[in-house]
Structure 1
Amino acid sequence: MVDPQVLKHGAWDVITPEIAGWEFVTFQVKTFGDGETVEFPADGNERAFVNLHGDLVVTVGSDEYRIGGRDTVFDGLGHTLYVPRDTAVSITGTPGAELAIATAPATEQHEVVLVTPDDVGSATRGAGTATRQVSTPMSPDFPADRLHIVEVWTPGGNWSSYPPHKHEHDVDGEAQLEEVYYYRTRDPENGWALQRVYSPERDFDLDVPVRDGDICLIPWGYHTTVAAHDQDLYYLNVLAGPAPKRTLQAAEDPALAPARAKWETLDADPRVPFVPVHP
C-alpha cells in the first residue's frame, strides 16, 4: 500500500485503486458538456453520485432522479444518489454541471436511495476554532454495502477533522477505511488550507497546502485539516473498507484527544452553520 498523498488539481482524473494503491475506493469528478450523457454499466460496484454544481438527471431503469440546486458547494447541502451493484445508470447534466462519483465493490445489492438536503440536514461539530459544519448523507446506518459519504464545511481559520484521527485497523473502536478528501474553496483562485497526515509508528509526516480541486488519498495515518484565515473550505469525504459491518469508528491521536474535553467550556464558532441547510 502506498503512502498518503496529495494530487493537485489538473494532475488527476479518475482515482482508481491502482493509482491510490488500495483496494476499494474509486473517485472522480465529472464536468458535463452541453447535451453530454455518461453511462455506467450494471456491474459489481455500488456508486454514490453527489452534485457539486448545476442540475442533473439520473436515469436508473424506468426511474428518473433530478439532483442539483446549488451553484457552488457553499450555497447549500448536496443531493446524494446511491445506486447499488448490478444496476445500470445514465446521467445527463446541464452544461458545466459538476458531479462527484464514488465507487466501491459490493457484495450485497440494496435499493436505490435519493438523499436530499431535507433528508439529511447538517450538524455543528467541535467548538472554538475547531468548529465546522458536517452533513452525512451516507452514514453507518445507511442501507449500502461499503460506501460512506460526508460533506464538511470549515470556516476560515478553523481546524477540521480534529482531534486528528485514523481509520487504519479493524480493532475495537477503530475501522480500516480508505479515505478520499476532495477540496473546494470559496475563493478558487486564492483559497487554500493545510492538510496533515502522519503516523508515528511508520515515521511518516505529510504537511502540504491544498487548494481548490486538489485531492488527498489517505490509506492510513492520523489526519487533520486547517483552513487558512478568511478562506472558507469545503471537502467531500468518501470512505470504504473491508469491515463486515458499516462503521466510521476512528482512533484519535492520544496525545491530542484531550482537546475534545475542552470543548465543553467553549462556545461554537457563531459563523457555523454558514452553509444554508435549505437552499
Structure 2
Amino acid sequence: MSRPAEPRPGEGRERGAPPAPLSWHLPAGTAAGGAYDLDIRPGGAGWDHCSLKVLTLPPGGTHTFPTGGSEWIVLPLSGGCTVAAGELSFALHGRDSVFSSVTDFAYVPRDTTARLTSAAGGRFALAGARCERRLPARYGPASAVPVELRGTGTCSRQVNNFAAADAFECDKLIAVEVLTPGGNWSSYPPHKHDEHHPGEESALEEIYYFEIADGPAGTPGLGYQRVSPSREKGTDVLAEVRTGDAVLIPDGWHGPSVAAPGHAMYYLNVMAGPGPEREWLIRDHPDHAWIRGTWPGQPADPRLPLYESAAPGGAR
C-alpha cells in the first residue's frame, strides 16, 4: 500500500513547500491525461522541475507536443518512431521491450514543437525538466549508452546511463534506466538527494516509472518501493508496484526497490533540481551505508547484465 505523508494537497507540508498530490504512489492509469497513459508535470506533482509522460501510439500514429520551457528526451519503451524537432528528424530504431536491449533516443530542446510518428506503433517515455539553456536537438545512439553493473549478490542491478550527468549533455535533466533481476534489491542502500551540500549532495526531485516482467504464461509481476522520511512530515511510501506505476520522490530516503522472485524489475529514473550544477550526488542512509563495504571482491549476480548489445539506429 502507499502511505502519503499528507492526506490532502498542501496540508502538513513544511512552510513554503509546494502542495503535494493525494498520493506519491500513482498506480497505472490513475495519472493518465489526454493522449498520455501517464502524465506527470510540475504543477500536478506539487513540485518545480520534473516531468514524465508515457505515450502509446498505434501503427501509423502521430503525436505533436510543444516543449514549452522544458527540455525533453524521447525514449522508446517498445517499438520505434521518428522524432521531428524543427528542421531536424531522428529515426529511433527502439526495441522490443525494456527487458530486451538498450535503445537509442532523441533530445528535444525547450521552445519548440516535437512530432512523433510510429509506422509500427509503440510506447514511448517523454522525460522532461524545466530548464534555462536551449541546447540543440540531438540523436543519442544506443551504441553510446554506458551500461553499468552496481552492487553485488542480491544487491546487484544493471544501470543504463543514457542521460546520466556525465554521459549526455542536458541543461537540467538527468535520466537513467535500472534493471533488477527477480529476487534482488536495488536503490540500496537507501539514499537521498533532497538538500544542496556542495560536493556531497544535490537537491533533485525524482520520478520512478516501473515495468515488471511477466512470469510463465504471462503471469503479471510485481515489486515493492520504499521511501522513508528524511525530515519531519517528509515523504513516506510503501507501495506495491506493477507495470505502468510511478512513484514521486520530492524528498526522503528512497530504497529499496524490491523485485519479486521470478520477475525482473525495470524502472526509469527522471531527475532535475534547482542547483547551479547538473550533478547527481547522493547521501546514503547512515543505518545502512555499511552494506557498500561488503561489495568489494564479491561477484555480481551472474544473471547480469540482462543484455549488452546495442540496437542499431540512425539519424536523418
TM-score, length-scaled by structure 2: 0.84
Shift of 1:84: 1.5
CA distance in 2, matches of 1:89, 1:10: 24
Identify if the C-alpha distance between structure 1 residues 121 and 60 changes in structure 2 by more than 3 Å, giving closer, same or farther.
same
CA distance in 1, matches of 2:67, 2:262: 44
CA distance in 2, matches of 1:94, 1:236: 25
- Kindly indicate whether the alpha-carbon contact (under 8 Å) linking 2:181 and 2:265 is maintained by their aligned counterparts in 1: yes
Does residue 263 (structure 1) correspond to residue 295 (structure 2)? The answer is yes
CA distance in 2, matches of 1:53, 1:139: 21
Structure 1 counterpart of 2:9? none
CA distance in 2, matches of 1:86, 1:206: 35
Shift of 1:186: 1.3
| Between 154-163 and 140-149, the greater mean CA deviation after superposition | 140-149
**SS of residue in 1 equivalent to 2:231:** helix
CA distance in 2, matches of 1:106, 1:64: 22
Given residue 83 of structure 1, which amino acid in structure 2 is its aligned partner? V
Q: Unaligned 5+ residue runs, structure 1?
A: none
Identify if the C-alpha distance between structure 1 residues 20 and 43 changes in structure 2 by more than 3 Å, giving closer, same or farther.
closer
Q: Quick one: which of 143, 146, 170 aligns to 1:118?
A: 143
Given residue 229 of structure 1, which amino acid in structure 2 is its aligned partner? P
Equivalent residue pairs, number: 279
Given residue 211 of structure 1, which amino acid in structure 2 is its aligned partner? R
After superposition, what is the alpha-carbon deviation per residue over 1:207-257, rounded to whole angstroms, capped at 9, x for unaligned? Answer: 111001100100000111010111101010110110110001011101101
**SS of residue in 2 equivalent to 1:38:** strand
Given residue 56 of structure 1, which amino acid in structure 2 is its aligned partner? C
Identify if the C-alpha distance between structure 1 residues 189 and 216 changes in structure 2 by more than 3 Å, giving closer, same or farther.
farther
Structure 2 counterpart of 1:184? 211
Identify if the C-alpha distance between structure 1 residues 178 and 200 changes in structure 2 by more than 3 Å, giving closer, same or farther.
closer
CA distance in 2, matches of 1:177, 1:92: 32
Shift of 1:200: 4.8
Q: Quick one: which of 228, 235, 248 aligns to 1:198?
A: 228
Q: Quick one: which of 164, 188, 196 aligns to 1:162?
A: 188
Given residue 183 of structure 1, which amino acid in structure 2 is its aligned partner? F
TM-score, length-scaled by structure 1: 0.94
- Kindly indicate whether the alpha-carbon contact (under 8 Å) linking 1:122 and 1:277 is maintained by their aligned counterparts in 2: no
Following superposition of structure 1 onto structure 2, how do residues 5-16 of structure 1 map, counting pairs within 5 Å? 5-13=24-32, 14-16=39-41
Structure 2 counterpart of 1:246? 278
- Kindly indicate whether the alpha-carbon contact (under 8 Å) linking 1:77 and 1:121 is maintained by their aligned counterparts in 2: no
After superposition, what is the alpha-carbon deviation per residue over 1:112-134, rounded to whole angstroms, capped at 9, x for unaligned? Answer: 22212201131111111110000
Identify if the C-alpha distance between structure 1 residues 34 and 265 changes in structure 2 by more than 3 Å, giving closer, same or farther.
closer
Question: RMSD in angstroms over aligned alpha carbons?
Answer: 1.7
Q: Unaligned 5+ residue runs, structure 2?
A: 1-17, 33-38, 312-316
